Each structure stands twice: as C-alpha cells, then as structure tokens.
Structure 1
Amino acid sequence: MFWPFRRPTYTDGEIDLVETYQLDGDIDNNFVPSICYDIKLHNSGKKVGRCDLRIGMNKDLYLVGNIGYNVTKEHRGHRYAYKACKILFDLAKNKYCMDDLIITCNPDNIASRKTCEFLDGELLEIINVPMGHWLRNQGDHEKCIYKYIL
C-alpha cells in the first residue's frame, strides 16, 4: 500500500516507534488524547510490538497509566518495552510538556514489573481495582502503580 505521507517516527537507534494513529480526548467521557505506535526494529520495518502514550492525567489513568506496551512473544527478552518507554518519556517531556507520568501493571506480570523497575520508577502502591471498573471486568484485580519524574 502506498502512503502519501511519512508517518512520524522516533528512534533510539535500536528500535523505531512509528505512529499509527491518534485518538482525540473527550472530556465528557473522561478520555485523554492518546498516540499509538508500532515498535519496529530500527530501519527494518519488522514489527515487534506496540505502545501508546496517553497525554494528561485523570482518575482513570491512575489505574491504567500514561503508557501501555505489548511486545510479541517471539520478541520478548530484548528490553524492547524498556527502550520504547525511554523514547516515550522523551516525547512526554519535550513534545507534550509532561512533568511526570504513571505506568501500571498487574502484580503477577513479572516481565512488566521488571520493565517498570528497570525504568527506575517509584512504586507508589499496589492497589485493588474497584468493583465495577472496566479493568476489573476484564480480570485485573490489582495494579502496581509506578510514578516517573521526567
């Protein structure tokens, strides 16, 4: 497929974050603007995962986080999530003027907890997800809440 424009791409020299789409915020529905990216091996076009940056903060984002990431099973163990987060930290600070952000994960997700710890986040708390919250409805009962000063 021919793209008539170049999608914004950010790199650390090992991976590229290629913007795939943006979601506008919706104050009435408590949504903040979000930018979604494919994580690709640098200059190869090989997709190894995806990530997103949610800009701003509200009550829901405290449980969900400003950054989400997922690396495909066959590409785990190379710290691609860590590298993607470092690029997103830079974008959050320098492009979107954020001073800090939150990343959350389930306490039993050891790989994600290691990523959050390797990023030098402060574990604020492990919190029970409230009954009726959409995260609980999808099976998440607890969240580790990590804070990062940019």
Structure 2
Amino acid sequence: MEFKFLDFDVIKGEEIDLYLVKTVPGNKEKNWVPAYHFDISLSGSPEPIGKIDIRIGYNENLYYGGHIGYSVNEEYRGNHYAAKAVLLLRKVAHDHELEKLVITCNPDNIASRKTCEYIGANLIAIVDVPEFNDMYQRGEKEKCIYEWVLC
C-alpha cells in the first residue's frame, strides 16, 4: 500500500503553532520512512523559533533515530516549547494510526531527556549505537531510547 501524506499545513496550539515546511517520502533503499518537517513558531507569529519533524512508520532505524526530532533556538529554550511541539504532533501520529513512538537522544542531552519526561515518555533503555548505523559514523555512540505510548 502506498503512503499518503495528510493535510497538516498548520497545527495550532495554545502557545505555539507548527507550520509544515516539507514532506519527505520514504526511501526503501536507505530504510527511511516518510516524514513531515515543521517550523515551530510562537502563536500569532510567522517567525520560526525552532524545528520539529515526525517520521511515520516502524523499522529498525527508528529504534536508534526515533520518530521525532526537534530543536529550539537558544533564546527560546527553557519554556517547554519542544515538549509542547511534540504534544501537538500526537494528532499526526494518531491520524496515521501509530500507537507508540520512539524518541531518542544522547545520554548527556539533559534538556532532551527532560522533554521526553515532560510528555510522559518512558526511558526503556540506554543502548550502544551499532557501528553500521549512520549516527555511529557521526560520532554518536550511545542513545537513550524513550517510548511514548499514545492514548
């Protein structure tokens, strides 16, 4: 069955909004799943304060790379904007019938670990990244694996 992107041009929240920047189709050769990429903006402002993406599907790559990646510009950190953006992506995951998501981060990334805890994700393991994985080649040797069960 062919993947179909759904209409998520803007996802509005109370403090922040997500604006769709692009969609990326899956790549079977590289074992990549389809993804949505959003800018994070304060509500009522078109100016991005960060980025977030969500990958749709399940495969081994996502165990190490996660379903969701995010970053918030330094001057906007400390306001839980990454966590609030992750929570807004619940609708995307739900509409694609995903029941749980994996979110990963480096063990020394305390802010990202707090984001995972803030949304209610559970740390299931801290694992070594396999040598064949792209992240290992970039110098990332360990990952915290969080599981976020969507209700």
Q: Residue 39 of structure 2 aligns with which residue? A: 38
After superposition, residues 95-106 of structure 1 pair within 5 angstroms as 95-106=95-106
- Which whole-Å CA distance do the structure 1 matches of 2:45 and 2:29 have between them? 41
- 2:112 is aligned to 112
Structure 1 runs of 4+ with >2 Å offset? none
Structure 1 residues 11-90: aligned runs within 5 Å = 11-90=12-91
Q: Structure 1: 5+ residue runs without aligned partners?
A: 1-6
Alignment partner, residue 3 of structure 1 = none
Aligned residues: 143
**In 2, Cα distance between equivalents of 1:132 and 1:37:** 29
Looking at structure 1, the residues matched to 120 and 48 of structure 2 have their Cα atoms a distance apart, in angstroms, of 26
Query: Equivalent residue of 1:90, what SS?
Result: helix
- Please give the per-residue CA displacement for 1:31-77, whole angstroms capped at 9, x wherever unaligned: 10000000001111121100000000110110000000000111111
Task: State the TM-score, normalizing by the size of structure 2.
Answer: 0.91
TM-score (norm 1): 0.92
Uncovered stretches (5+) of structure 2, i.e. residues with no partner = 1-7
The percent of aligned pairs where both chains have the same amino acid is: 43
- What amino acid is the match of 2:22? Y
Q: Secondary structure at the match of 2:58?
A: coil
- The root-mean-square deviation of aligned C-alpha atoms, in Å, is 1.1
For 1:13 and 1:121, the matched residues in 2 are separated by 21
